[in-house]
Amino acid sequence: MELVRRLSDEGPMTSEELAQSLSLRSDTTAKLLKTLEMHGFVEPARFAKRFQPGRMAGTLSEKFLGDTPVTDIARPVLQALADQHDGIGTLVVADRDEALLLVTCSGPTRQNAHECHVGSTYSLPFTAGGHALLFTMHNAADEPIAERGYNEVETRALEESFAFFCASGCFRTPLPECDLLLLGAPLHLSNAVLALELAIPDGSGASRDTTAAVKDLLSAVELIQRKCSTLGVRYLEDS
């Protein structure tokens, strides 16, 4: 299967090129290619003596991608984001008045400081990811924040977070008890809205420069949305 993967990544190759690329004996590579061709995993390319992935490989790929949930697409992107900023990356979705955590990824030296675990929930006004879901579900222009029934602390946090969103494209809220600063952005799929959140160290630093983290978070959102759109991946299948 590594032969098939190499052909998929690098394009049509000869048996000798594959043998050299994978450090295999020429006769071993030739036998493997013959077996793979018999089962439809590789086929001759238009170029002389070259091979390319066959129809069976394509069929299996389509089946795999069709069954891939958004969590599997988001996880490596979130892990890279968490590693880059030594923070905690999460994927959440609204569950009534709460945010349900679907994926969590921690950076190399970070512990799960604010106790986020897959399957756990928290109040939507509590973090930046929840803010992203709240403002996506309820347009701020339709219903002023002060009239939504939140307490004074929650209202002030939402107003400050929304102001930051208007300026940067991300929601922001400090979590001083855990020494974290939370950034959140909505993730739009074909049949649902989720949110990405990045928790980075030093939540007490209201003046902290978050330019790089904001840029990387928005890039992660765009990457996941593009992959999901290209592969036709949905959050949940329509019933």
Span 98-131, pLDDT tens digits = 888 999 998 887 654 445 677 888 888 888 999 9
Give me the chain's average pLDDT, please. 82
For 179, phi then psi, to 5°, come to 55, 45
pLDDT per position as a tens digit, 186-201: 999 877 889 999 999 8
CA distance 28 to 40: 18
DSSP state of 21: H
Question: Could you tell me what percent of the chain has a pLDDT over 70?
Answer: 82
For residues 57-82, give the mean pLDDT: 74
Neighbours of 231 (CB within 10 A): 15
pLDDT band for position 239 (cuts 50, 70, 90): very low
Give the C-alpha separation, 191 to 207, whole Å.
37
pLDDT at 65: 47
pTM exceeding the 0.85 threshold for the entire prediction: no
Residue 219 CA: distances (Å) to CA of 143, 169, 212, 216? 29, 11, 11, 5
**Do the beta carbons of residue 82 and residue 198 sit within 8 Å?**
yes
The tokens describing 237, both together, are: 């299948």
Provide the pLDDT for residue 80. 94
pLDDT of residue 113: 47
Q: Is residue 139 predicted with pLDDT exceeding 80?
A: no
pLDDT at 143: 59
Q: How many other C-beta atoms lie within 10 A of the C-beta of residue 1?
A: 10
Strands 180-188 and 193-201: antiparallel
> What is the mean predicted confidence (pLDDT) over 1-24?
85
Residue 208 φ/ψ region, left for φ over 0, alpha for ψ in the -120 to 50 degree band, beta for the rest: beta
All structural domains of the chain: 2-66 (1.10.10.10), 70-231 (3.30.450.40)
185: enclosing H helix or E strand? strand 180-188
Separation between Cα atoms, residue 7 and residue 14, nearest integer Å = 10
Tell me the C-alpha distance between 33 and 49, whole Å: 12
User: 196-227, pLDDT tens digit by residue?
Assistant: 999 998 744 455 678 999 999 999 999 999 88
pLDDT at 76 exceeding the cut of 50: yes
Exposed/middle/buried for residue 237 (C-beta within 10 Å: 0-12, 13-18, 19+):
exposed
